[in-house]
Amino acid sequence: MKPRYSPTPWRADDKLIQSAVRGPIAVTRVGPRHDEHEAEANARRIVECVNACEGIEDPAAIPKILKAFLALVPLTPIGWASVDRDVKDALDALEKRERT
Protein backbone atom coordinates (compact mmCIF):
# COMPACT_ATOMS: atom_id res chain seq x y z
CA MET A 1 0.00 0.00 0.00
CA LYS A 2 1.29 3.45 -0.95
CA PRO A 3 2.04 5.67 2.07
CA ARG A 4 -0.36 8.56 2.50
CA TYR A 5 1.31 11.84 3.37
CA SER A 6 -0.17 15.10 4.54
CA PRO A 7 -1.05 17.26 1.55
CA THR A 8 1.39 19.88 0.36
CA PRO A 9 2.34 22.62 0.46
CA TRP A 10 3.96 22.35 3.86
CA ARG A 11 5.39 25.30 5.72
CA ALA A 12 7.76 25.84 8.63
CA ASP A 13 6.82 28.16 11.46
CA ASP A 14 9.96 28.22 13.59
CA LYS A 15 10.34 24.54 14.60
CA LEU A 16 6.74 23.59 13.76
CA ILE A 17 6.10 21.85 10.42
CA GLN A 18 2.56 22.29 9.12
CA SER A 19 0.45 21.25 6.17
CA ALA A 20 -1.39 24.19 4.65
CA VAL A 21 -4.41 21.89 4.44
CA ARG A 22 -4.32 19.83 7.65
CA GLY A 23 -2.29 21.86 10.12
CA PRO A 24 0.55 20.66 12.41
CA ILE A 25 2.59 17.63 11.30
CA ALA A 26 5.81 17.61 13.35
CA VAL A 27 8.14 19.67 15.52
CA THR A 28 11.92 19.60 15.24
CA ARG A 29 13.77 19.19 18.54
CA VAL A 30 16.01 21.42 20.57
CA GLY A 31 18.36 19.46 22.76
CA PRO A 32 21.98 18.85 23.71
CA ARG A 33 22.95 18.35 20.07
CA HIS A 34 20.49 20.74 18.38
CA ASP A 35 20.16 24.40 19.35
CA GLU A 36 17.18 26.64 18.50
CA HIS A 37 18.66 27.88 15.21
CA GLU A 38 19.53 24.39 14.02
CA ALA A 39 16.06 23.08 14.91
CA GLU A 40 14.46 25.90 12.89
CA ALA A 41 16.83 25.28 9.96
CA ASN A 42 16.00 21.56 10.07
CA ALA A 43 12.27 22.36 9.89
CA ARG A 44 12.83 24.65 6.89
CA ARG A 45 14.93 22.02 5.10
CA ILE A 46 12.35 19.27 5.67
CA VAL A 47 9.62 21.53 4.28
CA GLU A 48 11.72 22.55 1.25
CA CYS A 49 12.45 18.91 0.42
CA VAL A 50 8.85 17.77 0.82
CA ASN A 51 7.46 20.62 -1.28
CA ALA A 52 10.13 20.13 -3.96
CA CYS A 53 9.23 16.45 -4.26
CA GLU A 54 5.49 17.07 -4.75
CA GLY A 55 4.25 14.72 -7.47
CA ILE A 56 7.41 12.60 -7.54
CA GLU A 57 6.46 8.99 -6.91
CA ASP A 58 9.88 7.94 -5.55
CA PRO A 59 11.99 10.89 -4.28
CA ALA A 60 14.82 8.47 -3.40
CA ALA A 61 15.32 7.92 -7.15
CA ILE A 62 16.25 11.58 -7.79
CA PRO A 63 20.03 11.13 -7.25
CA LYS A 64 20.04 8.29 -9.82
CA ILE A 65 18.04 10.41 -12.27
CA LEU A 66 20.43 13.33 -11.87
CA LYS A 67 23.42 11.04 -12.35
CA ALA A 68 21.92 9.67 -15.58
CA PHE A 69 21.19 13.21 -16.75
CA LEU A 70 24.76 14.25 -15.98
CA ALA A 71 26.03 11.41 -18.15
CA LEU A 72 23.84 12.58 -21.06
CA VAL A 73 24.55 16.34 -20.94
CA PRO A 74 27.97 16.16 -22.64
CA LEU A 75 26.28 14.28 -25.50
CA THR A 76 23.93 17.18 -26.32
CA PRO A 77 24.92 19.33 -29.32
CA ILE A 78 25.67 22.39 -27.21
CA GLY A 79 26.51 20.60 -23.98
CA TRP A 80 26.25 22.57 -20.76
CA ALA A 81 25.08 25.72 -22.54
CA SER A 82 21.69 24.04 -22.93
CA VAL A 83 21.31 23.38 -19.19
CA ASP A 84 19.72 26.09 -17.04
CA ARG A 85 21.15 27.31 -13.71
CA ASP A 86 18.77 25.26 -11.50
CA VAL A 87 19.83 22.00 -13.16
CA LYS A 88 23.51 22.93 -12.85
CA ASP A 89 23.01 23.70 -9.14
CA ALA A 90 21.27 20.35 -8.61
CA LEU A 91 24.07 18.48 -10.36
CA ASP A 92 26.73 20.35 -8.36
CA ALA A 93 24.94 19.41 -5.13
CA LEU A 94 24.79 15.76 -6.20
CA GLU A 95 28.50 15.68 -7.02
CA LYS A 96 29.32 17.34 -3.69
CA ARG A 97 27.19 14.76 -1.84
CA GLU A 98 28.97 11.90 -3.60
CA ARG A 99 32.39 13.24 -2.60
CA THR A 100 31.47 13.26 1.12
Termini Cα distance of the chain: 34
Tens of pLDDT along 18-56? 998 889 999 998 888 889 999 999 999 999 999 988 888
SS3 category, 3: coil
Per-residue pLDDT tens over the stretch 82-92:
566 677 777 77
pTM over 0.75: no
What are the residues whose beta carbons fall under 8 Å from the beta carbon of 83, sequence distance 6 or more?
73, 91
